[in-house]
Amino acid sequence: MSLLEKDLSELHNLLVSKEITSVDVTKATFDRIRETEEQVGSFITLDEEHAMELAKNIDAKGITTDNVLAGLPIGIKDNIVTNGLKTTAASRMLENFVPIYDATVMEKIYQADMIPVGKLNMDEFAMGGSTETSYFKKTKNPWNLEKVPGGSSGGSAAAVASGQVLMSLGSDTGGSIRQPASFTGIVGLKPTYGRVSRYGLIAFASSLDQIGPLTRTVRDNAYVLNAISGYDAKDGTSAGVSVPDFTAKLTGDIKGLKIGVPKEYLADGLQPEVKEAVLKAIETYKELGATVEEVSLPHSQYGVAVYYIIASSEASSNLSRFDGIRYGYRSENVTNLEDVYINSRSEGFGMEVKRRIMLGTFALSSGYYDAYFKKAGQVRTLIKQDFEKVFESYDLILGPAAPTTAYGIGEKLDNPLTMYLNDILTIPVNLAGNPGISIPCGFDQEGLPIGLQLIGKHFDEATIYQAADAFEQATTFHQERPNL
């Protein structure tokens, strides 16, 4: 059995007993990447020399029983800055950008003795839902190479699903961890806003972005969240809340748990197989002893409109720093200063990024600010209050992670609106700042994975993991593998 077929705790036990070394696992990881990368296209940059050096040092130091992630490889989404390693956000604008510091999550990864193996492909500046807007390559879904892996963390999801790495980091602004996890049949968690430091994450929409883990199993996911969580003085939005051990409640017992299912999440527009898989999952939860009842989130229907005004406005502000002057791409085709700004931004940004910058600049402009941005902020508050009301009586909210399974490459690229609507079930969670997870709950007729979404109260990832793990123990969907 390949090393990469085991879960993190199995590998940890083998490392502690010295049956294998960190060098063995890291070498197996790069062998697997070489074997599959041409088909899948998950990585933008590999860092093999540094990874092997880290592995040797960790083996020499020895691995203690309490450090479950030590000596194990991890993939990093390419919008998380890495000291000395190219960080591009999948954009021509940052094609040759090499940061001189590490993001806080990278510092935590090194503290835990994990081994970053490279930077993963994504939608440019995290804008997109299919990993097709990357300047460098299109990542493919390991379950069917004609299909998208979802986005924007498509590289992070595809790398885990194809067995290139056992864990990766993504970022989630409106569903960018949960939707690709759903499309590729793995576990992806968006933590509560403020749980994980955003320092060193290249910003798309600062009030929505969160870094989170993608793994094959729920327990593995909880281990990674343990390692990357915590207060960070360098991030003004970081929450000073204590970090529990997220694996503590993974007992399989969820008797008495109250779960609400929003009627809006099972309305028209869902692929029939997705609806059927979610209804079956509800029955599984009832058999496990949970109470499942219908609830309502009446304002979630406005989520997509609110999100695209707020996210685009914040993006237009955040991306103004990429101007061809300080760092990043600078056009050669210039005769004066105005040309430097206009041509550098015109040539450096892709189509989807330009679309969102223009949308955001319009929404923030004089005369439109009150009508659009302010109104969106008010409706965002109503969406948040909907969640708060449900969580007065329920522990979790359950629904599909995406309305459909993975669609074909190129299928929705010319129609951005249908692609935007694909995030209709994940977006409200970001607007409210709640944590949410996607776990595999079935397959459609084509054999493509279906994701189940569980949403929790602020800073209550532990209950999400408890319910997700119980479902995982009761089913076998997480054991299925794509046939590459």
Tell me the catalytic residues: 77, 152, 176
Residues whose CB falls within 8 Å of the CB of residue 124, separated by 6 or more in sequence, listed in order:
89, 90, 91, 133, 134, 135, 349, 350, 352, 353
Q: Token pair for residue 5?
A: 């077929």
Residues whose CB falls within 8 Å of the CB of residue 452, separated by 6 or more in sequence, listed in order:
277, 278, 281, 398, 399, 400, 401, 438, 439, 440, 441, 471
Distance, CA of 82 to CA of 116 (rounded, Å)? 10
Q: Is the peptide bond before 152 cis (omega within 30 degrees of 0)?
A: yes
Residue type at 216 in one-letter notation? R
Return the closest-CA partner of residue 155 out of 221, 223, 90, 71.
Answer: 90
Asked if residues 260 and 393 have their Cβ atoms less than 8 Å apart, the reply is: yes
CB count in 10 Å sphere of residue 321? 11
Return the closest-CA partner of residue 258 out of 453, 387, 398, 440.
Answer: 398
Distance, CA of 279 to CA of 270 (rounded, Å)? 12
Cα 206-189-91 angle, rounded to 5 deg: 50
Cα 14-15-16 angle, rounded to 5 deg: 95
Return the closest-CA partner of residue 420 out of 441, 402, 396, 399.
Answer: 402
Residue type at 66 in one-letter notation? D
Element (H, E) at 104: helix 104-111
Residue pointed to by tokens 């017992």: 253
Hey, which bits of 111-231 come out as E strands?
115-120, 167-172, 187-190, 210-215
How far does Cα 283 stand from its chain's mean position? 28
